[in-house]
Amino acid sequence: MSPDQVPAGAAAQRGAGAHRHRQASHSHDLPVLPEAVDIFDTTLRDGSQQEGLSLTVDDKLRVAEQLDHLGVAFIEGGWPGANPKDAEFFARAPAELRLGTATLVAFGSTRRAGVKAEDDEVLRHLVKANTEAVCIVAKASALHVSEALRTSKDEALAMAHDSVAFLRHHDLRVFFDAEHFFDGYAEDPGFSVSVLRAAAEAGADTLVLCDTNGGTLPHDVEHIVAEMVAGFDTQVGVHFHNDSGCAVANSIAAVRAGATHVQGCINGYGERTGNADLSAAIPNLSLKLRVRTIPEDRLERITPVSHHIAELVNTAPNPQQPYVGAAAFAHKAGLHTSAIARRRDAYEHIAPDLVGNGTRFVVSEMAGRSTLALKAEELGLELDSEALGAVLDTLKVLEHRGYHFEVADGSLELLLRRATGWEPDYFELESFRVIADHDRQHLTEATVKVRIGDHRILAVAEGNGPVNALDSALRSAIGPHFPELSGIHLVDYRVRVLDTGTGTAAVTRVLIDTTDGEVVWTTIGVSENVIEASWQALFDSIVYGLLRSRSFGRPAAPRPDRRATPTDAAPTVAAPTEAARTEAARTEER
């Protein structure tokens, strides 16, 4: 097979010849840019060192499936010698993992000082992991050899050589992680290079230069990698950490300098500040440097895979994440939204669908008229210029008082609908009262008095707190008139205190998320009084729910909010009205 035929991420290819180098189109001083690189994901090994991240074997299997679905070349699965969970992972993988594009890699370290490779526990575990490829770490810094390993440079070189030779003898593809390479190279380049040479001579397939402490900057990466690519026939790879905020840029700099193997983690998981974020490195390499990474037609999977893995490992995805973040193509500034309405690329560096993401418009006081017009159009509302101007003014006044409509789509829609002349007339509040007693098992009592047409209804309910009690009392009062309320539940309740610095008299902003099982909507209330603010948000929540069921006569399209998905997927919503400690009573007068 000629180098031209090598697909991106070809797991079977070995050695430096795997990827041809071509002239770099953007380069001004570097001679070569590879045509393709192998993507090596270490989420399951290095990534799981992240604080707060703890994966079961099942989690790991599911993450590996997702990475394979994305199309990475290598998945580092764990350290079978150091961790029983990882040993179980490798034991179960052959039967439970069906990998299409990816090769599984087991991780370990070189043999201990003074021990024969064939007698070394870690190396034997590696062989037993039964993978085609392994990755071993060796210290490539003279300082670390003397201070951490406490052995001689010669023994360190022998450890590298013997371990690689042993694994190659077992016919394993060997990735050689040169730990602390960049720092070591700055202090004692001769030793660091000799560690690489020892591994190369023993048959290592890839020499991986690791910036273990994450402190190296792109310009140093570029020239050091270029020197290693020029000096070795073996494939050169890189492994960066984000301690300087440059892990992605470092990966790009390394590829520009000729590295053809890039390690990192999906979503930038990892110890301290994380490993290089493959969710950004892959699209940068594929779309901007035109270097093949994962199969081209799978790039659009990267946003869904990123979000899916975030759910599997149970971390909140960062909306600001490049390429795949929920806000990566969200536009808020009025100037931007009006421009982007004309040209989609006005404020987008790539077409978001290339990475499976999408454009979003965020409505706020900063939004201009055009954002609101877009929103109204989305809702099928006809608002003339005057009405739009009036809504915009109202919005600005309310946001100045602490409302924040960009996160409250339900309340925003009610506002826009009112601008068309619509008024909700489902029920009318006469008054409510909330009583909380310290000595009654923390139960709170709420009474509401409402009118529906000619009927005056009084209802009382208890709850675990004021919002819960008010919600129950309101449902008790109007529920018989609106049976659909039984299918509408609050799913989240958030409180923020604004203008901090004025103590308890500050303004409180309450957000409530509600669902009818199909979509989720968010409503808002603002007041000096948390109970009043809660009531406003609750009122909008119920009115919006009734509007959906009564006026639309159809389920509205699910909103493009990321939070809709998990709630729909896992409808384990405990409705406040079902809370064991809630009781309600009701009287209706004519």
Judged by CB under 8 A, the chain residues 467 through 526 that form the site for a copy of itself are 467-468, 471, 489-506, 508, 512
Dig out the tokens for 79 from the structure.
């350290």
Q: Based on CB atoms, which residue is closest to a copy of itself, 281 or 546? A: 281
Please pick, from the candidates 32, 82, 91, 398, the single residue that binds a copy of itself as defined by CB under 8 A. 82
Could you tell me if residue 52 is left (phi over 0), alpha (psi between -120 and 50 degrees) or otherwise beta?
Answer: left
Ranges within 191-220 binding a copy of itself (CB under 8 A): 212-215, 217-220
Please report which helix (H) or strand (E) contains residue 235, including its range: strand 235-240
* H helix or E strand, kind and range, residue 400: helix 385-400
492 burial class (0-12, 13-18, 19+ CB within 10 angstroms)? middle
Counting contacts by CB under 8 A, is residue 113 touching a copy of itself? Answer: no
Binder among 23, 52, 114, 190 for a copy of itself (CB under 8 A): 52
- Is the Cβ of residue 165 or residue 366 nearer to a copy of itself in the bound state? 366
What residues does 455 pair with on adjacent strands?
452
Burial (Cβ within 10 Å: 0-12, 13-18, ≥19) of residue 172: buried
Residues between 354 and 373 that touch a copy of itself (CB under 8 A) = 362, 364-366
Binding a copy of itself (rule: CB under 8 A), the pick from 116, 169, 272, 344 is 272
**Among 175, 170, 80, 162, CA closest to 126:** 80
Q: Is 187 in the site for a copy of itself (CB under 8 A)?
A: no
Residue closer to a copy of itself by CB (options 10, 408) is: 408
Residues 430-449 that bind a copy of itself (CB under 8 A): 430-439, 442-444
Task: Tell me the closest approach of the beta carbon of residue 124 to a copy of itself, in angstroms.
Answer: 19
**Which two structure tokens, joined as six digits, stand for 561?**
């909010």
Provide the minimum distance between the beta carbon of 263 and a copy of itself in the complex, in angstroms, as a whole number.
16
Residue 549 contacts a copy of itself per CB under 8 A = no
Footprint of a copy of itself on 88-107 (CB under 8 A): none
What is the rounded distance in angstroms from the CA atom of residue 83 to the CA atom of residue 91? 13
CA distance 90 to 103: 12
Binding to a copy of itself by CB under 8 A, coded x per residue (else -) over 8-37, reads ------------------xxxx--------
Neighbour-count burial of 267, counting CB atoms closer than 10 A to its CB (0-12 exposed, 13-18 middle, 19+ buried): buried
CB of 472 to a copy of itself, least distance (A): 9
Which residue, 176, 250, 188, is CA-closest to 213?
250
Nearer to a copy of itself, 203 or 215 (CB): 215
**Cβ-count burial 454-487 (b if 16+ within 10 Å, e if not):** eebbbbbbbbbbbbbbbbbbbbbbbbebbeebee
Tell me if 245 contacts a copy of itself by CB under 8 A.
yes
The mark string for 275-294 relative to a copy of itself (x by CB under 8 A, - otherwise) is --x--xx--x---xx-----
**Residue whose CB is less far from a copy of itself, 49 or 151:** 49
Residue 231, H or E segment? helix 218-231
Q: Select the span of 9-17, 250-258, 371-379, 477-485 touching a copy of itself (CB under 8 A).
A: 250-258
Token pair recorded at residue 256: 């520009």
Using the rule CB under 8 A, is 115 a contact of a copy of itself? no
